[in-house]
Amino acid sequence: MHTPVLLKEVIDHLNIKKGRLYIDATVGEGGYTKEILKAGGKVLGIDLDSRQISNFQFPIFNEMNLELVHGNFGDIERIAKEHQFFPVDGIVFDLGLSMRQLSALGRGLSFKNEKEPLDMRLDTNEEKTAANYINVLTEHQLYDLFAKNSEEINSRAIAVSIVRARQVRKIKTVGDLVRIIDRTVKKRDTRVLRKIFQALRIEVNHEFENLRRGLEGATRLIKDDGKVLMVTFHSLEDRMVKQFVRERNLKFETKKPVITKSDFVFERSAKLRIILP
């Protein structure tokens, strides 16, 4: 089982009480959920990836305290109310993807899997794939997408290169896009690849829109003495969380975020924000 980044810190800050209600808005492989169940909490687990829900291994000791739902955490308020699971004592959002998810879905989520289709949908009910965006958007729209979702300084040049390349041949696979980016920046730069793929994944899955909706729903579900925990993995997500807190006159439990230490590059950027109503 994948161990979530900042697992101990999340569980410590939730301060779980037996019989109380908690929502794991991104259940994934169940790391947070299983620890909450062990401590006696009741969990509503949500995940956008249906395979994460169907592959979940129920802890045999208290599966009656767990309800799993395939859904979007942007709909967290609706989902919780449909399952009569509110008000809640704690909610956790982990905005990262596990290494297993990146490699197992076969949808081109990682720039390392060059033979995979350029899909990137976490939920296959979504209409548009990454390839749809890459092959249809104008140069300016592509630039705007990359700049907004990754702040990559090569966004303009990469957008220009994509438009030129697709006039010759449709861009279909991860490798097609990787080679275009490599030619544009004149080398294999994993930092640039990571940011461009991040930007596409964010757009395909409407991640920023869903994050804001999820935060809004969470603050309406949480008890007055409850906590909303956000584990972010890049500055754009973290900035959105901070902006949301300021706009709603909420507060953080700690002024500085809890930051992880990890052997994995993407996990070293993880931050934990604890939001109080």
Where b means 16+ CB within 10 Å and e means fewer, 3-26 reads ebbbbebbbebbebeeebbbbbbb
Domains defined along the chain, listed by start: 7-100+207-276 (3.40.50.150), 127-204 (1.10.150.170)
Write down the pLDDT at residue 52: 77
Name the pairing type of β-strands 66-70 and 222-232.
unpaired
Q: What is the pLDDT of residues 190-227, one digit of tens each?
A: 999 999 999 999 999 999 999 999 999 999 999 999 99
**What's this model's pTM, rounded to 2 decimal places?**
0.90
> Cα angle at 212 between 29 and 81, to 5 degrees?
70
In three-state secondary structure terms, 258 is: strand
Q: Which of 44-53, 206-215, 251-260 has the lowest mean pLDDT?
A: 251-260
Give me 147's structure tokens: 């700049």
| Rounded mean pLDDT, 95-115 | 82
Least confident of 20-24, 126-130, 184-188, 255-259: 255-259
Q: Which pLDDT tens digit goes with each residue over 151-168?
A: 999 999 999 999 999 999
